[in-house]
Amino acid sequence: MRTELGLAVASMALNLATYAHTVLAARFLGVDPFGAFTAAMNVLIVLSVVSLGLQTTVARRVAAASGHAEAIAHVALRLTYVVAPVLGVALAVASPLLDGVLRLDSLTAALLIAIGAVPMTIMGAQAGLLQGQRRWADLAWVYAASGTSRLVVGTVLLMWKPTLVCGVAGIVAGLCAPVVVGWWFLRTGNPETGEASPVTRARLVGDSLKGAQALLAFMALSNLDVVVARHALADGSSGLYASGLVLSKAVLFLPQIVLVRVFPALSTSAGRRRALTASVGVILFFGVSAAAVTALLPGLALVFVGGQDFTAVRDLLWLFALLGTVQALAQLFIYSVLARAAVGPTLVTWGALLVMVPAGLRMTTVAQMVVLLISVNAALLLVLVAMTSRTQARGSAARAGHSH
């Protein structure tokens, strides 16, 4: 119980540190540069699908075959040490394209995105191994290292030189530190025991790609809106929209510990329904509370999304809190899909993205953009809930048939 509490505290600290660094970036950079910073940050979040795909696959495999943890670790880490540099090089080659599409006006910032993708991918495999073995205390230290390094290094860099490059460099710092901590906790394993791994490198790649498809669709849906906004809205308005997203991301990521903790339970038919129900309750509590407080105290909420420079978005902040709530619920059901290795709902998520992008490009105000995102995510959530309920009903019927 104590180790699980430590994981909860570390996860919360990571999300708060990420949030604090983003708020500081808004204050130091100003409206338009902050829009570019948010676009760069969101691209890294989208790229994290490779890391998260590895993490969920490795965690599921280790949880299902805990006696082979060291053999799986050997396969997973060797694979990751190949995939991560390849991804980084590919992004470095594409950095001029990233610079142009995101309108960063900084090739250095685009290259930093490429650099950050390498440790981010390695951390995915490390976190998956710790999560699958339920080594919550060790995983807590990995999360703590990420949040602390990002906040401390990022703040120092922004104070030294409040530029887009320094803002993105702070994010990269937060991606490098946990890899060192993860290596330290996993160094004592002895993969060369002659033990055969129950999963091959090819199978791990295949499972990770399946997971990454669902995660990529969701990450794109919940993060590319800021890129769409930078093209659809005027520069000032896109910066205002980005400031509102600070709040929605806080609501989305604050209950992240729920996903980490319940994922192994979601992998088993016996515990899935109870874990899913409890998780929905926790996320709704966080989200509804945030939306209510924001609606009642918009001035206070404004302090946490950038301050008086962003006053024009003040009365819309409760909508951004609502957006984060709906996204957090949709993310939970996406993870439920990954835990049972299903792929059907992935297509629905891609469909939601295909609706959002062209519709978003026709929006002209911040209010229109956030209402659009709430509507698209709410529709996605309803479809995912219906699919999950149908799957659970079929599973219950099958178990009942076998019992007879």
**Res 199 pLDDT > 70:** no
Confidence class for position 193, pLDDT limits 50, 70, 90: very low
Q: Looking at residue 67, what is its pLDDT?
A: 64
Average pLDDT, the chain: 81
CA–CA gap between residue 150 and residue 175 (Å, rounded): 8
Closest CA to 243 of 314, 162, 296: 314
The amino acid present at 100, given as its one-letter code, is: G
**Res 396 pLDDT > 60:** no
Give the model confidence (pLDDT) of 30-65 as tens digits. 777 888 888 888 788 878 888 888 888 888 777 766
* Angle formed at CA 145 by CA 141 and CA 146, multiple of 5 degrees: 120
Give the model confidence (pLDDT) of 234-276 as tens digits. 767 888 888 888 888 888 877 676 776 666 666 556 566 777 8
Give the model confidence (pLDDT) of 65-100 as tens digits. 666 677 777 788 888 888 899 999 999 999 999 888
Q: Looking at residue 267, what is its pLDDT?
A: 59
Burial 169-200 (b: 16+ CB within 10 A, else e): bbbbbbbbbbbebbeebbeeeebeeeeebebe
Cα dist from 26 to 32, 142, 244, whole Å: 9, 26, 11
Confidence class for position 1, pLDDT limits 50, 70, 90: very low
**Res 188 pLDDT > 80:** no
> CB-based contacts of 318: which residues, under 8 Å, 6+ apart?
291, 292, 294, 295, 298, 301
Q: Where does 65-106 have alpha helices with state H?
A: 69-93, 95-102
CA atoms within a 13 Å half-sphere pointing along the CA-CB vector of 142: 25
Burial 219-244 (b: 16+ CB within 10 A, else e): bbbbbbbbbbbbebbeeebbbbbbbb
Q: Looking at residue 319, what is its pLDDT?
A: 93
Answer with the residue of higher pLDDT: 6 or 81. 81
Q: Looking at residue 358, what is its pLDDT?
A: 93
> What sign does the CA torsion over 207, 208, 211, 214 have?
negative
Contact 42, 224 (CB under 8 A): yes
Q: Looking at residue 191, what is its pLDDT?
A: 47
Q: Looking at residue 388, what is its pLDDT?
A: 79
Give the model confidence (pLDDT) of 136-174 as tens digits. 888 889 988 988 898 899 899 999 988 889 989 988 988
Mapped onto helix, strand or coil, the DSSP state of residue 294 is: helix
What's the 3-state SS for 193-218?
A: CCCCCCCCHHHHHHHHHHHHHHHHHH
> CB-based contacts of 248: which residues, under 8 Å, 6+ apart?
320, 321, 323, 324, 327
CA–CA gap between residue 275 and residue 263 (Å, rounded): 9
Domain ranges of the chain: 2-187+196-398
Contact 358, 376 (CB under 8 A): no
Confidence class for position 9, pLDDT limits 50, 70, 90: confident
Q: Looking at residue 393, what is its pLDDT?
A: 62
CA atoms within a 13 Å half-sphere pointing along the CA-CB vector of 381: 18
CA–CA gap between residue 281 and residue 115 (Å, rounded): 38
